[in-house]
Structure formats: structure tokens, C-alpha cells
Structure 1
């Protein structure tokens, strides 16, 4: 009975051993005749254009921010107290020089004008009568002089009332457009109270504060490129019209005014940036396509003498017309992949720059 059990156990172990041997044989079959042993597949080399990092001479520029303002702008205020009787313009109204914009109630002044006019007539008649009597030796010279002075006083009084009447009519001092209306019909205007604001939209300039160390690089009449962000990246051809002689002692800055050409869409209040050239500097430049940017981080692929591409993080600076400035992370003489998006870290690279270039003429 025990021998039969031992025989059964022995047979079971033999079956397990045969199954294991069969599994191993299937997973580790010997290579067929004529086939090479299997090895890890070799990745083909990337065929990409490369460029050598070289130093370049680039201009040193300083960018200064400012605001577009009108060359001619005015705040129109009342010189006398009176109720606004008529308001002939609103925001955006185009006006001409001398055009009536606002009228104050002048009934009191009209009555005063009638009174002083009557007094002037009486003074003229009295002075004429005194002259006739003086020629007839009926009055003294002193009486004639008193009549003449009375006439002059009456004339001055009438001129004063006429001046007051003229202040009830607010006129445009130049051609322009109304930018702000601060009052309405029926309101009481007081002396010095702002009523309207206007400006000439055809003549605009950029006003910016420039550091005292940068003022010396420009002078009145110098051309300055100005970029208005609202109008695009193309700079306008500005010209320095004025540099205020006194600077701010707290910030050590000076106010610079740059006249701008007439440009469609340009309006006062827009944000602008002017560029000041401060000479030349030596730096490393690479095409923008060589960089892989991730937010504020930038990287590129450097290819060494072993033709292997390696990802390297770099610090970039200004974006110029010639390329992007590299501040650190790569040295002159190294080669990088022109199109960084096609690179792969650790991959072999075949330089296709010479292949892609046209043959040189003999």
C-alpha cells in the first residue's frame, strides 16, 4: 500500500519536470540556420541641420515705457459764475478754432450793459456840451476836464461789461476734438471750474521718463523707434522734440517727449515703448527655432564630437532681429540642432547642413 503511494508521487514529479522542460524549450529556442543571434535594435541616426554657436555684435538697447499724449490739449474753464444755458458739444465732437462750445446765462450782464451804455451816452452828451461852453468861455477848463474824465470812466465801464459778456461764451482755442464733458445744461459754473477738455488728435507724441544715465545717448531731433503695443510690433519713426532741462531728484529721471507720425488708430492714452541705442556688445545668438521653451525655461540640443544629441538647459535674453540672445548654458564653437523640436536626447545625429546647402560656384 505504501509502495503504490510512493510510485504515484514519483510519477507526478516526473510530469511536472517534463512540463517545465517543455516551457523552457519554447521560450529559449536556438536560432535557425543562417540567422544571427537576436540583439537590441540600433536606432537610425537623426538627419537634422545643425549650426555652430558663434559670437555676434548686437546693439545695446534700452527700452523705456511711456504714454501717448496730444501736443495740443486744453481744459476749458469758466471765468465767471453763471448757469449753463446752452451746451453745443459732447464727447467726440470735432470742433474748429473759434467755434462756440458752451454758453452761460447772460441776462444779468445784458441788463448791466444797457445801464452802462446809457451812462456812456450821458457822459458823451455832457462832454460835448462842456466843450461848447468852454469855447464860449462859459465854463472853466477844470469843468471840461472833469467831463472828459467822466466820459472815459463810462467808456471803461462799458468795456468791462462787454468783457464779462464775452466770458459767457466758451469757444474752441484750436481745431480738435472734445475728449471730456464735465457739466450739463442747467448746472452752475463757478470761476475756474473745468467745463470741457479737448485735444488735437492729429499731433501726438510719447512722453516717457528716462534715466539720467540714458539721456546722454539722444538729443533733440534724434530719430527714435517707438512701438505702440495696440498697433502691433512694427515701430513708428519718432523724433525727440523736447527733453526737459530739470530732472526728478528723487528718481533721477528726465521727461522726454517724442513726436509721432500721423498713424491710423493711434490715440492719446495708449501705452508705448521707445528704444534707445547705447552702442554695441558681443553676445551669442541662435535662431529661435533652436530653442524649446517651457514657460520661463528654455533648452536646446547640443551635439558633441560623438554625434550624440544632449538636451541642455540655457538662459536666454533679448529677442533680436538676428536671433535670440543666449546668456549662459552654451559656449561658442559648440554645435546645436537648428530645429530643436525634432531633437531627441541621446540620439545619434547626422549633420544635414552641408547636404541641404546649395553647391558653391567654382
Structure 2
């Protein structure tokens, strides 16, 4: 039964009844941070690395002498066995000639004593001393020949001159560095990876590297895996070689190694 005032104010009562009958509006729950991130089926790991030549060395002087010629300049290419440095070895050549003359004299002396011994005009002791003198002269000649052989430095492998440390007409001491040379026929990348990668990382596996200087991506393959794991960083050193020949790449460039990792 409606109240008495609803007979006189039907619209007011109609609005009041509708308001009383409407259900409450639903509320949106607040977002909650997830404690566990969804696992990736596969992913990529970016690691910084630098291009390095597979073979490189520093060529040093083995004798004290003046640099006479350096036919290949800094940055130049050379082949295996090609002359890189020659020294002024006029003193060593004179010493070699002296050693040869002394050997000739020792041989003549030995022949004379042997002939005298045959004629019973000389003793066995003189013959033995002459033979010792000849052996000594031969040793001196060999030593001088070895020194003269160090008057030129030939390339141990094909490559390029990375740095020229001395100049022509400069006197160098034994052991002094002359040239830094590299074999740039194969460029490698050396970098550290997490040790748990060893469960799937094998030589021959493919990867790619984005070089900063060229802004290009190049293919590469894993070639070597380190022999031990660093217990502090739990990482291992690996090496990869650029797969192919790209003239624009030179040693010292750096970039990002991108290796596809398996599903976690």
C-alpha cells in the first residue's frame, strides 16, 4: 500500500522507488604486481666484444745495428717470408770474412802437420792441436753466419703492419721492438659468457655481431671455449670468428654480440 502523500506526488514516489530498487555499480579492482615473470620460450643475449686478429706478434731486433730499409710501411700488407726490416751489417760481414780466412788457415795448418806426421817429422800432439784449431775456426764461422742471418727480418706469416715503432737510419739495440704485425685474414671476437651457457654452447654454433663503426651486422661462429670457469663471476671466455671476408672490418672495431639462447 502506497503512503498517502504518494497519491498527491506520484512522480516523486516513482523516482524514489526507482532509486531504491537500482543495484549498486560494480567496482574495478586495483592492479597487483606479479611476483613471477613469465618464462621466455627463447631469447637473445647482448654482449660487448672487440675484433681481434687470430695471429699477431711484435717483431724485435736480435742484434744491435742501424736500420737500413723498411720496405713495408705502417698499414701495408705483406706475404709470408717477405722482407720487413734490413740492417746495416757491414761490420758483421767483415767479421764473417775474417772467420772464413781463419778457417782456411786452420785447414792448411792441419794438412801440414798431418804430412809432417806421415814423414815422421812431427808428433801426434801437433796434429791433434791443428784439428782442434780447425774445429774452433769452423765454430767461429758458424757463429758469424748466424749473426749475419739476423741482419734481415722476414715476415713469419701474411698480414699487415699494425704499428711501426722505429724508423730507417735509427740504431736499435738487441731486443728492441721494431714492428707490430697482425694476420687479418681471420678476425675473431673474444668475450665472456655466463657459465650456464656451457650446457648448450658448442664450437660451430652461429651468432651475429653488430659492429658500431660500420653499423652493420655480420655472421660469426663459435670457435673456442675457455678451459676454466671464473668462480667469482661464473663466466667463461669464448672465441668466435667472423664467418666470411669483409674488407671494411679491421682489428680493434667493437660491437655487440647477439647469441640466441635456448628456452629457459
What TM-score bracket applies, with the shorter chain setting the length?
Answer: 0.7 to 0.9
What is the CA-CA distance between 1:87 and the residue it aligns to? 2.3
SS at match of 2:213: helix
Match of 1:271 among 251, 254, 257: 254
In the aligned structure 2, how far is the partner of 1:251 from the partner of 1:187? 47
Q: CA deviation at 1:120?
A: 1.0
Aligned to 1:82: 65
Q: 1:235 to 1:148 in 2, by over 3 A?
A: same
TM-superposition CA deviations, 1:191-218 (whole Å, max 9, x none)? 2211111222222111112233334431
Query: Residues 135, 209 of structure 1: CA spacing in aligned structure 2 closer, same or farther, 3 A cutoff?
Result: farther
Partner Cα distance (1:146, 1:220) in 2: 64
1:95 aligns with 2:71: no
Unaligned runs of 5+ in 1: 1-54, 282-362
State the distance in 1 between where 2:133 and 2:235 align. Answer: 59
Q: Which of 139, 151, 166 lines up with 1:183 in the alignment? A: 166
Match runs of 1:164-175 below 5 Å: 164-175=147-158
Structure with greater contact order relative to length (CA < 8 Å, sep ≥ 6): 2
> Conserved in 1, the CA contact under 8 Å of 2:65 and 2:87?
yes
The correspondence for 1:155, drawn from 124, 138, 144, is 138
Q: Work out the CA distance in 2 between the residues paired with 1:104 and 1:152.
A: 30
Which of 245, 248, 260 is equivalent to 2:227? Answer: 245
The CA deviation string for residues 283-302 of structure 1, in whole angstroms up to 9 with x for no partner, is: xxxxxxxxxxxxxxxxxxxx
| CA 1:195–1:159: 2 relative to 1, 3 Å | same
SS at match of 1:67: strand
Q: Deviations over 1:306-326 (max 9, x none)?
A: xxxxxxxxxxxxxxxxxxxxx
Aligned residues: 226
Structure 2: how far apart are the matches of 1:277 and 1:152? Answer: 68
Q: What does 1:321-340 align with in structure 2 at a 5 Å threshold? A: none
Aligned-partner Cα distance in 2 for 1:278–1:65: 16
TM-score, normalised relative to structure 1 = 0.57
Does 1:197 find its partner at 2:180? yes
Pairwise CA distance, 1:127: 2.0
The CA distance in 2 between the partners of 1:83 and 1:266, in whole Å, is 36
Deviations 1:78-104 (CA, angstroms, capped at 9, x unpaired): 011122222222112221222212122
Q: 1:120 is matched with which residue?
A: 103
Give the aligned CA root-mean-square deviation in angstroms: 2.4
Instruction: Please identify the structure whose Cα radius of gyration is greater.
Output: 1
Q: CA deviation at 1:137?
A: 4.2
* CA deviation string 1:37-56 (max 9, x = no partner): xxxxxxxxxxxxxxxxxx99
Q: Deviations over 1:131-183 (max 9, x none)?
A: 33344444344432322222121111111111111212111111211121111
What secondary structure is seen at the aligned counterpart in 1 of 2:144? helix
- When residues 112 and 216 of structure 1 are mapped into structure 2, their CA distance, relative to the original with a 3 A threshold, is farther
List alignment gaps of at least 5 residues for structure 2: 1-37
User: What is the CA distance between 1:109 and its match in structure 2?
Assistant: 1.1
- 1:259 pairs with 2:241: yes
Matches within 5 A, 1:10-89: 58-89=41-72
- Cα distance in 2 between the residues matched to 1:218 and 1:133: 80
Within a 5 Å distance, the mapping from 1:274-289 to structure 2 comes to: 274-280=257-263
* Deviation of the 1:59 alpha carbon: 1.4
Give the 3-state SS of the residue equivalent to 2:223 in structure 1. strand
